[in-house]
Structure 1
Amino acid sequence: MTTHVLILCTHNSARSVLSEGMLNHLAGKLGKDVKAHSAGSAPSGRINPFAIEALDRAGIETSGYRSKSWDEFSRDGAPPLSIVITVCDSAAAEQCPVFFGSTGGQPVKVHWGYPDPSNADGGEDGKRRAFELTRQAIGYRMLQLLALPFETMDRTALQAALVEIGRS
């Protein structure tokens, strides 16, 4: 059964998009039945071009990416979510809509914060560097997530493991 992971950030334009791309790319390379999605509470309507550039440079497919609302994942027909990860502090503090988990219950929720690479100093070169470093940091955590034995973990163990990954 596919493990669906929703990654949230307020505008769904940078960190959540980098996370979606990295998780789907790594899951595919490792043969894991995991599907990442990203969304925002107040989507900007556009993906930050530095996010697309960082993913493209890493050889990650980005066609079809779009900035979308988290409401899409609380409607009938939405994928059954196992995990919801917030990657920006403002999204972590917001009241999320009700998401439906793979067993009909609520998915496990965790916060993995990353500084906003869009705010990096140093002009375009500084932003490129910040986006690449953020992509790498996200990739490291996504590899740890993919190493988890989802099929044998109960909700409490999964929550604890995800919190621990967020500390690293």
Structure 2
Amino acid sequence: MTRPSVLFVCVHNAGRSQMAAGWLRHLAGDAVEVRSAGSMPGDRINPAAVEAMAEAGIDITDQRPRVLTTDAVEASDVVVTMGCGDACPVFPGKRYLDWALDDPAGQGVEAVRPIRDEVERRVRGLLAELEVPAPARD
């Protein structure tokens, strides 16, 4: 089986999609190709998202918001949208998942922690669907 690729998309590519990409990289290693993008990317990653992920032992400080491109969608097997609505391009033959998650924008780390944990739960579920083993939860 070829290595699956997953694209996480939200509006600003600064919180939810970055946390999801961080979890997927952390849990799957090189077994999955990971991308993230935003329909209207912000200028930096949400500091509360960075802090919440650091608490889980995952460093996303080197990531930058990226603009969503049709190439990124076409190159991905699974596209996970998180509140980007009609701005997310839809291509035939792609698998789409829409994860309804609270937006961490403007929230403190206390509000972001439950979003982080829900993102982890969903990423683990996605890995199970892709039949990619993930390490057990601590």
Q: Per the shorter chain, which TM-score range?
A: 0.7 to 0.9
Structure 2 stretches lacking a partner, 5+ long: 133-138
Q: Give deviations 1:15-61, integer Å, cap 9, x for gaps.
A: 11111111111112xxx711221110010121111111111111113
Partner of 2:21: 20
CA RMSD of aligned residues (A): 2.3
Any conservation in 1 of the 2:4–2:77 contact (CA below 8 Å)? Answer: yes
Which residue in the other structure is 2:135 paired with?
Answer: none
1:9 & 1:78 partners in 2: Cα distance? 13
Q: What amino acid sits opposite 2:63 in the alignment?
A: Y
Question: Structure 1 or 2: larger helix share?
Answer: 1
Of residues 42, 45, 50, the one that matches 1:44 is: 42
Aligned-partner Cα distance in 2 for 1:119–1:52: 13
Higher RCO (CA < 8 A, seq sep 6+): 2
Give the whole-Å Cα distance in 2 for the aligned partners of 1:87 and 1:70.
13
Match of 2:97 in 1: 110
Q: After superposition, what is the alpha-carbon deviation per residue over 1:86-138, rounded to whole angstroms, capped at 9, x for unaligned? A: 112xx0x2143366xxxxx6421120110112354xxxxxx211111111101
TM-score by length of 1: 0.69
Q: Does 1:80 align with 2:75?
A: yes
1:142 paired residue number? 123
Q: Secondary structure at the residue paired with 1:136?
A: helix
Aligned 8 A contact 1:11 1:41 in 2 = yes
TM-score by length of 2: 0.82
Note if contact 1:4-1:79 (Cα within 8 Å) is conserved in structure 2.
no
CA distance in 2, matches of 1:78, 1:94: 14
Q: State how far apart, in whole Å, the 2-side matches of 1:78 and 1:38 are.
A: 10
Summarize the Cα distance change of 1:149–1:65 in structure 2 as closer, same or farther, 3 Å threshold.
Answer: closer
How has the CA–CA distance of structure 1 residues 109 and 79 changed in structure 2, closer, same or farther, with 3 Å as cutoff? Answer: closer
- Displaced runs of 4 or more, over 6 A: none
Q: How many residues align?
A: 131
Structure ID, larger Rg? 1
In 2, Cα distance between equivalents of 1:52 and 1:149? 27
